Amino acid sequence: MASTTSTPQVITNRPDPLTVEVVELIGEVVVRFHEDYESAAAEHALTGAQARLLSLLCLEPLPMRRLARQLKCEPSNVTGIVDRLEARGLVERQPDPADRRVKVAAATAEGRRVARSLRESLRFAREPLAGLSEGERVALRDTLRRMLG
């Protein structure tokens, strides 16, 4: 009778070389974007955290706890950041229209102007993309959206 033993397959969780290269390239893009963002923030006399908070507040006024969750930091840190931005006239505290016991932070007109200027000064985000055709930028955008789910 013939033996029916099979050799066990070795299953690895190692990504293929192309996936490794893509992950490394994404990492390099993140590092370069972060460096450019920090530099652009500094040109506006902001820290990176202040710039990120200001950008969030340009979308909508937010309570401190929600800002802390989005920035992945403690609410007490957010309070200090808001205090410094408020002292510069870039944000203001307002009563929450849904619950007047809660205060929200909101970007002022000057804060929105600074945030817009900061976005426009990001060289890394703009220059490499300018070298791609519109179709390539659309394909990249769609791929990134799919990756982010």
- How far apart are alpha carbons 147 and 149 in whole angstroms? 5
Mean pLDDT over residues 80-104, rounded?
A: 93
Q: pLDDT tens, 45-64?
A: 999 999 999 999 999 999 99
Continuous segment of H or E residues that includes residue 131: none
For residue 132, the 8-state DSSP code is: S
The fold for domain 39-122 equals Arc Repressor Mutant, subunit A (1.10.10)
DSSP string, 36-63: HHHHHHHHTT--HHHHHHHHHHHH--EE
114 closest CA partner among 74, 72, 57, 62 = 57
CA distances in angstroms from 102 to 60, 69, 81, 92, 96, listed in the order given: 15, 16, 18, 14, 5
The answer to whether 29 and 127 are in contact (CB under 8 A) is no
pTM passes above 0.85: no
Structural domain spans, the chain: 39-122
* pLDDT, the chain, mean: 90
- How far apart are alpha carbons 89 and 111 in whole angstroms? 7
pLDDT at 4 over 60: no
pLDDT band of 106, cuts 50, 70, 90: very high
Q: pLDDT tens, 9-56?
A: 655 688 899 999 999 999 998 999 899 999 999 999 999 999 999 999
Angle at 82 (CA atoms; ends 76, 83), nearest 5 degrees: 90
- How far apart are alpha carbons 61 and 58 in whole angstroms? 7
